[in-house]
Structure 1
């Protein structure tokens, strides 16, 4: 499949405002790429994910044929919410932190190469793909949400905009000794699962920052959520979990167990930090996650 330009002429770029301030490089880069490919561009510079929601909705209402999120997972999440169930495709230029959905889709990490994919230029082979959205307490997200250690790591990370996944890894190492919490996890109305665990995560995608796979069976278009309960015990617990993540192992035991469901209710016996797509949400004792099958169209490279 080649260029989409014969049928799609108007593209709206939603650019993370902090990136736009960094020398203003990304706005002219997107403008030049659109001009070369024959698109008519418009630009929305945003400061928060909520602004991305409104920008994407406005662009869709104004007749945009394609909306491109230029930023990290927060920018992508905002645009995905704004475009959910509209039929307008979302393109991604992953130039922020995390970039979990972009990595799952195989979108290049380099901005120029990603623009070539989303705009259908340079002989790139791309297609519009329908994927699922998940919601955490009603708010859409694209990759992963969780309670416990993963959210504590996000809360303690102060350098992620400069060091990306390395900042998560550094913060994670500091928090490995935190005590476990008691969780009750209910899935699809079945019998609750009780666990003492460090973290419970629910993924639409199975990737962690850095490209590591925590949930190897997670698929963004299968209509299911994948649940991971991390409960390492003893001096060898964390090394065992790390080995399984690094080797994409599906082995399960008390250290790491996985489930699949369409709705997930997580209840902790104490108030814990919570995160959605690498961004903190208000600490609480519960997190309810559900899936919206096929709610979003994304533009991605074709395999091969």
Structure 2
């Protein structure tokens, strides 16, 4: 349960809406006119942002915030939310995620209904009442100046490697590409040496799975960091150690319940700042490709205000 404080101020100005019509393989595409009409009931002008790709989406969100938007709403999955967060993080502009994607982990884990129409109703009520709730975000930085915010989970192990392979594959299309990438990477599974610094304390360990969570779940409900709380000012780090193929196949289904953390080869940590390094790993945050290791991750308390 989120223990957060409500604030009774939402900036005046139009509601900017970023919508991804391809989110969730387009299953909510036809809902957008209804969602926009419902948002108008908040008594603000509603402006749909134009964007043809993720980079344009992020730029459109930044421009809307700079131009005086009173709120930003993202209709889509975690990838769409991720783009919007880059614009509102650290500002007074409140944010409303409407879960309409394949993975809606940030929205659901921060207390929004899983149904898009119900989520919009929550956002409209908050706008009318001038109410927003602060929650934490994680800030990801690199030595050469790279900088991203994320809301849910950073993957830097087997799941990130699978994502990287799937993104390089041209065939097959759709979910089967990930299934095939999992099979290929399972065959190549080996522990890697990670250097982990948690609030300055050094750890060197061999692992196949490393996740750093602001909220508990990723990948559409996999509770990889089950105890993560986006209002405690801390990051949860879950490390799966020298796990072989058979054990990984057996443990992986337990991630949906979060019970994998009781396995003797799984360790959990909590820290405000996490520095992470390993050779040949590209991180993924909120399901989106981010930076090659090494990276530094910092919990930023109350970095975004949610319309709920």
Where does 1:213-252 land on structure 2 (aligned, <5 Å)?
A: 213-234=223-244, 237-238=247-248, 241-242=251-252, 244-249=254-259, 251-252=261-262
Which of 80, 93, 113 aligns to 1:75? It is 80
1:160–1:77: structure 2 CA closer, same or farther, 3 Å change rule?
farther
Report SS of the residue matched to 1:271: coil
String of CA shifts for 1:98-136, please: whole Å, max 9, x gaps: 221012023223322222221129xx9995210111122
CA distance in 2, matches of 1:105, 1:16: 20
What TM-score results when the alignment is normalised by the length of structure 1?
0.81
Report SS of the residue matched to 1:97: coil
1:155–1:235: structure 2 CA closer, same or farther, 3 Å change rule?
closer
Report SS of the residue matched to 1:46: coil
Quick check: 2:166–2:181 contact (8 Å CA) kept in 1?
yes
CA distance in 2, matches of 1:107, 1:167: 30
Report SS of the residue matched to 1:183: strand
Unpaired segments ≥5 residues, structure 2: 1-7, 142-146
Which residue number corresponds to residue 298 of structure 1? 306
Quick check: 2:22–2:29 contact (8 Å CA) kept in 1?
no
* Range that drifts further, 220-229 or 133-142: 133-142
CA distance in 1, matches of 2:134, 2:71: 14
Which residue number corresponds to residue 97 of structure 1? 102
1:49–1:154: structure 2 CA closer, same or farther, 3 Å change rule?
same
Is 1:275 the counterpart of 2:284 in the alignment? yes
CA distance in 2, matches of 1:204, 1:233: 24
Which residue number corresponds to residue 185 of structure 1? 196
Structure number with the higher strand fraction is 1
Which residue number corresponds to residue 63 of structure 1? 68
Alignment: residue pair count: 289
C-alpha deviation, 1:57, in angstroms: 2.9
Which residue number corresponds to residue 204 of structure 2? 194
Which residue number corresponds to residue 152 of structure 1? 161
1:118–1:170: structure 2 CA closer, same or farther, 3 Å change rule?
farther
Report SS of the residue matched to 1:52: helix
CA distance in 1, matches of 2:205, 2:257: 25
What TM-score results when the alignment is normalised by the length of structure 2?
0.80
Which residue number corresponds to residue 3 of structure 2? none
1:97–1:246: structure 2 CA closer, same or farther, 3 Å change rule?
closer
C-alpha deviation, 1:274, in angstroms: 2.0
